[in-house]
Structure 1
Amino acid sequence: MNMRLLAVMGLMLSTPAWAQDVKIDIKEFMFGPKDLTVAVGTRVTWVNDDQIPHTVAETHKAFRSGALDTNDSFSWVFDTPGEYEYFCALHPQMIGKIVVSQ
């Protein structure tokens, strides 16, 4: 086998077949959906649809975005099973949770 084919096969094996891309809208001072269950390897992208900045900050500091202006986005790939609670650092009443399953 040539090296290129081996590299492509390695990439295919490293991403679970059930992994996907999921979008969470930030709108009207809420994350939508607020609660989400995803498979390991899923990329979640938050998109700010509000007219003011928001952030996405995981409670235990696993991830944290900078300030997201209107139409800005932040993505995170969830490689480890568990529960991830997050909030907007600018508006702490905005909360959400992602459950990552095997």
Structure 2
Amino acid sequence: MIKKIAAASIVGIVIIVSLAVAFSTEMEPQPEPQPESNAVSSHSMQGVIQPDVMTGGDVIMPTKVSRPGCEETDRCYIPSVITISAGESVTWVNEDSAFHSVTSGFYDAPQDLFDSGHMDPFDSYTLTFDEPGTIDYYCTLHPWMEGQVIVE
């Protein structure tokens, strides 16, 4: 009987301590990300990778696109085709748990206009397009992921 009371007391103490910790722990506010971009032309396209940006952006790489199949529903990049005016920026945000890239061209025909390199989960990549045209892009790690920027 004493062992049961002692065990129940210990369980009660553990629950009380757990609740106290849960209610006393406050989440630290996260600083607002500051947008960065580099103005580029088709002659020297270079972008900026911004680590740990979890919200915002013009094009999202959603979860589970590292598996084939997102191309069947046109959801590898959301949106897969984006139209902007010359001088505007596009920001790609990797919301997946896998690495991705934003690289000009196609998997079997890359172009040398821009390449984000491998983006960690929740990284973003911003690129400003100064000249009109249509630019195709893809993910170097997942060849089924394709998108397009139309600059007017």
Q: Distance in 1 between matches of 2:137 and 2:148?
A: 6
What is the CA-CA distance between 1:68 and the residue it aligns to?
A: 0.7
For residue 66 of structure 1, report the CA deviation from its aligned partner: 1.3
Equivalent residue letter for 1:62:
L
Distance across 2 between alignment mates of 1:35 and 1:68: 20
Which of 79, 91, 112 is matched with 1:33 structurally?
Answer: 79
Q: In the alignment, does 2:89 pair up with 1:54? A: no
Match of 1:72 in 2: 123
Instruction: Find the aligned partners of 2:83 and 2:115 in 1 and give their Cα distance.
Output: 19
In 1: Cα distance, 2:128 partner to 2:112 partner: 14
TM-score normalised by L of structure 2: 0.51
Structure 1 residue 23 corresponds to structure 2 residue 69? no
* The one of 79, 93, 98 aligned to 2:144: 93
Q: For 1:39, give the aligned amino acid.
A: S
- The number of aligned residues is 80
Quote the Cα distance in structure 2 between the aligned partners of 1:51 and 1:42: 28
Q: Which has the higher helix share?
A: 2
Letter in 2 for 1:69: D
Between the aligned partners of 1:26 and 1:74, the Cα distance in structure 2 is: 11
- Helix, strand or coil for the counterpart of 1:62? strand
Q: Equivalents in 2 of 1:85, 1:61: separation in Å? A: 12
- Stretches of structure 1 lacking an aligned partner (at least 5 in a row): 1-21
Q: CA RMSD in A?
A: 1.0
Among 85, 91, 107, the alignment partner of 1:45 is 91
Q: Which runs of 4+ in 1 moved over 4 A?
A: none
Please list the CA deviations of residues 12-56 of structure 1 after superposition, one character each: whole Å capped at 9, or x if unmatched: xxxxxxxxxx61001132100001111001110100000000000
Q: TM-score, normalised by structure 1?
A: 0.75
